[in-house]
């Protein structure tokens, strides 16, 4: 055995000194290869037949399957687009809710401003009336004083 393994030129570890053993080993190798090939061929043929019976279908059915697969792909793309549209609409809804809240605040501020202007206008009206009354009495006083001074001057000059 030592000789068989030590000879690197021998394919099977069999030395060249024994040609009969070598021929027998080559024949055995040929049978193993052909048996292996037959087993592989056997598995290939029978596995294809078993699978083919499960998978094979008519041309009409196959075309329907292909069409349905294409429709599925198109529908999935449409679903993705619609989901993206829904997300955008949700974002728009959130923005519009925020804008609505800001507009409500603005309306409240304008109402408060209107009330403030109303109070200011009432105060101005009161001030104007007071000034008119004061102005009237001042004018009346001025006329009385002016008339009195004029009457005194007339009396003196007379």
Q: What is the pLDDT of residues 28-46, one digit of tens each?
A: 777 777 777 777 777 767 6
Give the residue extent of every domain in the chain. 1-56
Q: What mean pLDDT is predicted for residues 1-25?
A: 53
pTM for the full predicted model:
0.41
Distance CA 135, CA 143 (A): 12
How many Cα atoms sit within 13 Å of 151 on the Cβ side? 6
Q: What is the pLDDT of residues 66-112, one digit of tens each?
A: 888 889 899 999 999 999 999 999 999 999 999 999 999 999 999 99
């Amino acid at each position: 055995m030592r000789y068989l393994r030590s000879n690197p030129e021998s394919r099977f570890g069999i030395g060249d000194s024994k040609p009969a053993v070598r021929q027998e080993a080559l024949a055995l190798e040929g049978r193993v290869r052909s048996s292996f090939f037959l087993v592989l061929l056997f598995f290939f043929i029978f596995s294809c037949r078993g699978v083919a019976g499960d998978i094979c279908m008519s041309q009409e059915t196959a075309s329907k399957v292909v069409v349905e697969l294409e429709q599925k792909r198109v529908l999935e793309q449409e679903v993705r687009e619609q989901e993206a549209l829904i997300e955008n609409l949700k974002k728009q809804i959130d923005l519009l809710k925020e804008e609505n809240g800001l507009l409500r605040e603005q309306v409240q501020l304008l109402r408060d401003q209107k009330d403030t202007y109303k109070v200011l206008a009432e105060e101005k009206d009161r001030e104007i009336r007071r000034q008119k009354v004061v102005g009237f009495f001042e004018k009346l006083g001025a006329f009385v004083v002016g008339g009195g001074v004029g009457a005194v001057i007339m009396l003196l000059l007379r």
